[in-house]
């Protein structure tokens, strides 16, 4: 089904999107002809996108479209087969995975990824300590620094978990764990947040909480959001990219994407398709 779509669209869609000025905020993260192949499988093919400051960039697409691959490339978990990743104009595709966070690219995982046996505060302290430094100091007590604790508390406050400060992370609800994960990323003082399905497996109320949270956060950060919950994505995104089979289909505002014929085909199939 997907091969039809790319043929049908004809012109390379990536360039079409890149030239359209959607907003005037600064581009903080950018990919240029980014490819990731696993042997013969093209998980991601020739993707050029721009992510802007203080905007939420939604990425949607059917399963296997390469959304998670894209996030893994953007945070350094995978290295690209070809192409470039630019952070504020500098090529970063070949730096070490841990250096991505130091550059301000923070990542949330698809599966909740926290320190389950530590308290919420400690979870954020681990993150904040990266910024404060002194992580090789064996003489300084881990609880001695006010600044560090304050930073961790601020991060908890931002996501609305201040009341869970001393609760052990494994004992709080699933939704709260997702919030905590975002808090740990915030504690590293990022400029870009890469979020992989933060609302997966959540009930309606919990989802609403995260949506409100993301609405607030996007005023300060560049957010790249991969999400299956279409209502949420439509509500939140300033720009929306649709991907199909590792290929870029369209990047535009939500309204434009919603009306695009190719998107409807990608999701709903063509009328004459044999099922």
Partner 1 sequence: MFTNRAEKLFIWVFFPLALLMPLLLDQNTYYVNKLATILILSIFVMSLDYLVGRCGLVTLGHALFYGLGGYLFVMLAPEYEAVNFWIYTFYVLAIASVVALIVGFIVLRTSGIYMIMITLALAQMCFYFFSDSTEFGGNDGVFIYVKPETHVFGLNLFDLDNPTHFYYLCLLSLFNCLLFFKLIMRSKFGRIVDAVQENPERTTALGYNVFHFRLASYVIASALGAYAGYLFALQYGFVNPSMLSWQTSGTALVMSILGGLGTLYGAILGTLVYEGLHYGFEHLTENWLLPMGVLIILMVLAFRHGLAGYLESLLEKRK
User: What does the binding site for partner 1 look like in residue numbers (CB under 8 A)?
Assistant: 75, 96-102, 106-107, 109, 113-118, 122, 125-127, 129-130, 134-143, 145, 184-185, 188
Supply 178's token pair. 């997702």
Least CB distance from residue 28 to partner 1, whole Å?
17
Which residue number, 44 or 180, has a Cβ lying nearer to partner 1? 180
Which residue number, 42 or 165, has a Cβ lying nearer to partner 1? 165
Which residue number, 97 or 203, has a Cβ lying nearer to partner 1? 97
Element of type H or E holding 242: strand 239-244
Report the alpha-carbon distance of residue 24 to residue 217 in Å, rounded.
Answer: 19
Least CB distance from residue 140 to partner 1, whole Å?
5
Which residue number, 51 or 100, has a Cβ lying nearer to partner 1? 100
Least CB distance from residue 185 to partner 1, whole Å?
8
Which of 45, 47, 20 lies closest to 32, judged by CA? 47
Which residue number, 28 or 240, has a Cβ lying nearer to partner 1? 28
Which residue number, 158 or 262, has a Cβ lying nearer to partner 1? 158
Which of 14, 15, 50 lies closest to 29, judged by CA? 50
Least CB distance from residue 265 to partner 1, whole Å?
36
146: left (phi over 0), alpha (psi -120 to 50) or beta: alpha
CB atoms within 10 A of CB 87: 21
Least CB distance from residue 121 to partner 1, whole Å?
12
Supply 83's token pair. 């192409």
List, in order, residues 6 or more apart from 199 with CB less than 8 Å away.
178, 206, 207, 210, 211, 227, 229, 232
Least CB distance from residue 243 to partner 1, whole Å?
23
Q: What angle do CA 58, 22, 237 make, to 5 degrees?
A: 25
Least CB distance from residue 12 to partner 1, whole Å?
33
Supply 210's token pair. 């995260």
Which residue number, 9 or 112, has a Cβ lying nearer to partner 1? 112
Parallel, antiparallel or unpaired: strands 239-244 and 56-60: parallel
Parallel, antiparallel or unpaired: strands 56-60 and 222-226: parallel
């Amino acid at each position: 089904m997907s091969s039809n779509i790319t043929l049908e669209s004809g012109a390379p869609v990536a360039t079409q999107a890149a030239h359209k000025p959607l907003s005037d905020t600064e581009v903080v993260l950018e990919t240029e002809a980014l490819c990731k192949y696993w042997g013969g499988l093209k998980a991601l093919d020739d993707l050029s996108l721009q992510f802007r400051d203080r905007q939420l960039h939604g990425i949607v697409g059917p399963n296997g479209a390469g959304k998670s691959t894209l996030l893994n490339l953007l945070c350094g978990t995978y290295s690209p087969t070809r192409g470039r990743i630019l952070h504020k104009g500098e090529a970063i595709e070949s730096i070490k995975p841990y250096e991505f966070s130091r550059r301000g690219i923070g990542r949330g995982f698809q599966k909740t990824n926290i320190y389950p046996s530590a308290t919420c505060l400690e979870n954020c302290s681990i993150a904040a300590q990266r910024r404060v430094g002194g992580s090789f100091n064996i003489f300084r007590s881990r609880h001695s620094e006010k600044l560090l604790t304050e930073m961790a508390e601020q991060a908890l406050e931002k996501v609305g978990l201040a009341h869970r400060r001393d609760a052990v992370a494994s004992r709080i609800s699933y939704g709260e764990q997702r919030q905590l994960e975002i808090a740990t990323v915030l504690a590293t003082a990022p400029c870009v947040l890469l979020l992989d399905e933060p609302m997966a497996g959540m009930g309606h109320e919990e989802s609403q909480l995260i949506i409100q949270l993301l609405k607030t956060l996007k005023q300060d950060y560049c957010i790249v959001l991969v999400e299956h919950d279409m209502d949420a994505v439509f509500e939140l995104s300033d720009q929306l990219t649709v991907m199909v089979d590792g290929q870029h289909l369209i990047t535009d505002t939500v309204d434009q994407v919603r009306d695009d014929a190719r998107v409807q085909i990608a999701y709903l199939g063509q009328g004459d398709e044999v099922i």
